[in-house]
Amino acid sequence: MDLFLQTLVSGFLKGGLYALIGMGMTLIMGVMGIINLAHGQIMMVGMYITYSLFALYGVDPYLSLFVSMPAIFVLGVTIQKYLLNPLLRAETILPENQVLMTVGVGMVLTEVMRFIFTSDYKSARTSYSNATFFLGEISFSVPLVIDLFIAIMMTVALFLFLVKTDTGKSIRATAQDKEAASLMGINAERITYITFGLGSALVAAAGTLLMPIFYLFPDIGGPFTRKAFVICVLGGLGSTVGAIFGGITLGLAEAFGATYVAMEFEDMIGLVMFILVLLFLPGGFKRITKI
């Protein structure tokens, strides 16, 4: 029973971070209608920013959120403005050119980081990296609990932003119907920049929060990109609420798979779930939650 509870707790804690990753991707998916295959790589860049601040100036990883998020926001806006949006105007046979462009961007980001930081494993070991506390027999990792707390705060902030502010409403309107939104006087192109920036900043935040407990090398982006789209498909593409459920489901599934099946299957479980969801619940949790 303890093992079961322990697995549940660790899966849930990890799921909080996954939700943050998934929400960034799903926002972009909702507004632009494309899958951002550079998502994990953008997160990796955010992690390197955190790492550099930690290694050079000894900045606490949690404090560096205030640097990594704005920096990656700017990176996201730049990618959208100069690389992705111009493709909309080109006449091509395949509509997937934007997706391919994100693949190229991901490659470039990975290689630039490899060029600067080499392929060595890096980590930001803080005094609290290995700290744990116990509730009964169940151990909680201190950084993961802090992460979950920050992730929840960010999610609430994001929802307030999307529901209450003018820009947030414009984002939701553009996601619903781009042309209608344009007719209502929304600058849809500007909204795409903001959305891509916002999505990137969210995933950068997730990367920064991972930094105290995780290691870092340039190729770390790919697996996280795959996790991100599994989360999005689980939740329903474009659904922010769904991404939270998707993230937690993936976290739990991975934790239970690793405990009860085998460690090697951890990565595969997400992918199998992905195919199963596509088959039996196309549209993901969005179908159930309707948001």
Q: Give yes or no for residue 88 binding other proteins (CB under 8 A).
A: no
Find out whether 25 and 40 touch, Cβ atoms under 8 Å. no
Please identify, among the stretches 19-27, 58-66, 102-110, 197-205, the one whose residues bind other proteins according to the rule CB under 8 A.
102-110
Q: Which is nearer to other proteins, 34 or 211 (CB)?
A: 34
Separation CA 100–CA 281 (nearest Å): 27
Q: Give yes or no for residue 103 binding other proteins (CB under 8 A).
A: yes
Cβ of residue 246: shortest distance to other proteins, in angstroms?
Answer: 14
Q: Give yes or no for residue 272 binding other proteins (CB under 8 A).
A: yes
Which contacts qualify for 265-273: CB closer than 8 Å, 24 or more apart? 267/223, 270/226, 270/227, 270/230, 271/226, 271/230, 273/230, 273/234, 273/249
Size of interface with other proteins, in residues (CB under 8 A): 44
Q: Give yes or no for residue 268 binding other proteins (CB under 8 A).
A: yes
Q: Which is nearer to other proteins, 59 or 103 (CB)?
A: 103
Cβ of residue 261: shortest distance to other proteins, in angstroms?
Answer: 11
Numbers of helices and strands, H then E, in the chain: 13, 4
Q: Give yes or no for residue 224 binding other proteins (CB under 8 A).
A: no
Cβ of residue 48: shortest distance to other proteins, in angstroms?
Answer: 15
Q: Which of 8, 67, 71, 83 binds other proteins (CB under 8 A)?
A: 83
Cβ of residue 90: shortest distance to other proteins, in angstroms?
Answer: 4
Find out whether 68 and 211 touch, Cβ atoms under 8 Å. no
CA dihedral 16, 213, 11, 8 (to 10 degrees): -120
Find out whether 272 and 59 touch, Cβ atoms under 8 Å. no
Separation CA 79–CA 76 (nearest Å): 5
Q: Give yes or no for residue 44 binding other proteins (CB under 8 A).
A: no
Find out whether 264 and 287 touch, Cβ atoms under 8 Å. no
In order of 14, 73, 169, 252, the CA distances from 209 in angstroms are 11, 16, 28, 19
Separation CA 267–CA 226 (nearest Å): 9
Q: Which is nearer to other proteins, 103 or 138 (CB)?
A: 103
Q: Give yes or no for residue 281 binding other proteins (CB under 8 A).
A: no
Q: Which is nearer to other proteins, 5 or 271 (CB)?
A: 271
Q: Give yes or no for residue 261 binding other proteins (CB under 8 A).
A: no
Q: Give yes or no for residue 96 binding other proteins (CB under 8 A).
A: yes
Cβ of residue 101: shortest distance to other proteins, in angstroms?
Answer: 5
Q: Is 90 left (phi over 0), alpha (psi -120 to 50) or beta?
A: beta
Contacts with other proteins by CB under 8 A lie at 33-35, 83, 86-87, 90-97, 99-101, 103-105, 107-108, 110-112, 114-115, 222, 226, 229-230, 233, 237, 264-265, 267-268, 271-272, 274-275, 278-279, 282
